[in-house]
């Protein structure tokens, strides 16, 4: 049991204090007893400087090894494509018993990338807060980003219960609700609820942009009619989403295949005037929206 009147960790090191990392730092700064001391690590000196200007860490450095040596917990908040490299930079310097965690949007590939450099005396708890925005960087963080949102944990068979409990407590103090699942199940779920919607948003914006001249300017002028909601998601960070698509290739392609079949079925219903099919599909969409509102996840 974690003592809920004490800090969970003495020193928390957040590697990659962008949208997600800086939101955790802001939460820790706001008196939720995540950690007594906060160190931010980023490969960009400009990000380190900004973190200090924002006052959301006690220290900000590009020296991952020196920070890791002081950590009771290292949280990796970098794009999923560099998780393995960054883990290799911090793990050799971590103290025995310190906890490693990450916030990556894909889990099988991140665990595969980190596993070869893992140490038996450093427990690793993979996590994924299901909360975010289309913005990036340390200025984009929000103290209440995780409030009432799900955070998914995908512990390994040998992850000690005490480390899982500490990471659970950290997310709970960020306001999140916790669920545990296997990494493979996580990746299938996220492929349909998060990764495919982003793929569709990027694609529809590209399709609209490919339309010639006049029509393109009309897209911008009259976009309020549905298109606008896609553009918010399509404004997300290219490196982050490139990495997610490549990392979750199999599950994403499976969900895309199913979607394309269903889109074909809709096209067929429209061609043949199958009004009942069309209405049924729209009603299912409305039901899903209604249940999200009821669950306060809309």
Ligand X SMILES: O=C(O)C(=O)Cc1ccc(O)cc1
Ligand Y SMILES: NC(=O)C1=CN([C@@H]2O[C@H](COP(=O)(O)OP(=O)(O)OC[C@H]3O[C@@H](n4cnc5c(N)ncnc54)[C@H](O)[C@@H]3O)[C@@H](O)[C@H]2O)C=CC1
Among 123, 126, 129, 183, binds ligand Y (CB under 6 A): 129
Interaction between residue 10 and ligand X (CB under 6 A): no
Given the rule CB under 6 A, which of 50-58, 63-71, 112-120, 124-132 is the region that contacts ligand X?
A: 124-132
Residues with Cβ within 8 Å of residue 46, at least 6 apart in sequence: none
From CA 283, how far away is CA 222, in angstroms rounded? 26
Interaction between residue 23 and ligand X (CB under 6 A): no
Report DSSP state, residue 5.
Answer: T
> From the list ligand X, ligand Y, none, which binds 127 (C-beta under 5 to 8 Å, kind-based)?
none
> What's the closest the beta carbon of residue 44 comes to ligand Y, in angstroms?
4
From CA 74, how far away is CA 103, in angstroms rounded? 11
Residues with Cβ within 8 Å of residue 165, at least 6 apart in sequence: 1, 2
From CA 228, how far away is CA 208, in angstroms rounded? 12
Among 43, 70, 133, 159, binds ligand X (CB under 6 A): 133
Interaction between residue 144 and ligand X (CB under 6 A): no
Given the rule CB under 6 A, which of 66-74, 130-138, 260-268, 285-293 is the region that contacts ligand X?
A: 130-138
Strand order in the sheet with 99-102: 59-61, 35-41, 9-15, 73-76, 99-102, 124-129, 150-153, 177-180
Interaction between residue 80 and ligand Y (CB under 6 A): yes
Residues 272-291 that bind ligand Y (CB under 6 A): none
- What x-and-dash track marks residues 235-274 binding ligand Y by CB under 6 A? --x--x---x------------------------------
Among 23, 109, 194, 248, binds ligand X (CB under 6 A): 194
| Interstrand relation of 150-153 and 124-129 (parallel, antiparallel or unpaired) | antiparallel
Among 43, 70, 172, 231, binds ligand Y (CB under 6 A): 43
In this complex, which beta carbon is closest to ligand Y, that of residue 35 or of residue 74?
A: 74
From CA 298, how far away is CA 291, in angstroms rounded? 9
Among 2, 13, 56, 86, binds ligand Y (CB under 6 A): 86
From CA 108, how far away is CA 126, in angstroms rounded? 10
Residues with Cβ within 8 Å of residue 284, at least 6 apart in sequence: none
Given the rule CB under 6 A, which of 42-50, 132-140, 207-215, 273-281 is the region that contacts ligand X?
A: 132-140
> What's the closest the beta carbon of residue 31 comes to ligand X, in angstroms?
25
Beta-carbon count within 10 A of 255 CB = 21
> From the list ligand X, ligand Y, none, which binds 80 (C-beta under 5 to 8 Å, kind-based)?
ligand Y
Among 39, 83, 233, 247, binds ligand X (CB under 6 A): 233
Interaction between residue 132 and ligand X (CB under 6 A): yes
Work out whether the CA dihedral 284, 128, 246, 232 comes out positive or negative: positive
| Interstrand relation of 124-129 and 35-41 (parallel, antiparallel or unpaired) | unpaired
* DSSP-based three-state secondary structure for 202: helix
Are 103 and 76 spatial neighbours (Cβ–Cβ below 8 Å)? yes
Interaction between residue 56 and ligand Y (CB under 6 A): no
Which residues contribute to the site for ligand X (CB under 6 A)?
105, 130-134, 194, 233
Which residues contribute to the site for ligand Y (CB under 6 A)?
15-16, 18-21, 42-44, 47, 77-80, 82, 86, 103-105, 128-129, 132-133, 136-137, 237, 240, 244
């Amino acid at each position: 049991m974690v003592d809920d009147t004490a800090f969970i960790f003495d020193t928390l090191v957040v590697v990659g204090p962008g949208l997600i990392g800086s939101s955790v730092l802001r939460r820790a700064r706001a008196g939720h007893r995540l950690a007594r001391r906060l160190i931010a690590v980023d490969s960009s000196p400009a990000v380190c400087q900004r973190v200090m200007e924002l006052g959301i860490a006690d220290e900000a450095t590009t020296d991952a090894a020196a920070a890791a040596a002081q950590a009771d917990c290292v949280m990796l908040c970098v794009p999923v494509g560099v998780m393995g490299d960054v883990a290799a930079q911090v793990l050799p310097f971590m103290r025995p018993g310190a906890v490693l965690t990450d916030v990556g949007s894909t889990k099988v590939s991140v665990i595969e990338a980190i596993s070869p450099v893992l140490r038996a005396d450093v427990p690793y708890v993979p996590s994924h807060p299901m909360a975010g925005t289309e913005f990036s960087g340390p200025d984009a963080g929000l103290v209440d980003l995780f409030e009432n949102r799900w955070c998914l944990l995908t512990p390994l068979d040998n992850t000690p219960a005490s480390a899982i409990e500490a990471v659970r407590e950290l997310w709970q103090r960020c306001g999140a609700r916790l669920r545990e699942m296997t990494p493979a199940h996580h990746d299938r779920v996220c492929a349909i609820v998060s990764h495919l919607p982003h793929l569709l948003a990027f694609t529809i914006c590209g399709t609209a942009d490919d339309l010639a001249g006049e029509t393109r300017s009309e897209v911008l002028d009259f976009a309020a009619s549905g298109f606008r909601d896609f553009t918010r998601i399509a404004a997300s960070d290219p490196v982050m989403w490139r990495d997610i698509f490549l990392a979750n290739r199999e599950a994403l392609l499976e969900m895309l295949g199913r979607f394309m079949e269903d889109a074909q079925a809709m096209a067929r219903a429209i061609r043949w005037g199958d009004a009942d099919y069309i209405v049924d599909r729209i009603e299912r969409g409305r039901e899903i929206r209604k249940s999200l509102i009821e669950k306060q996840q809309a």
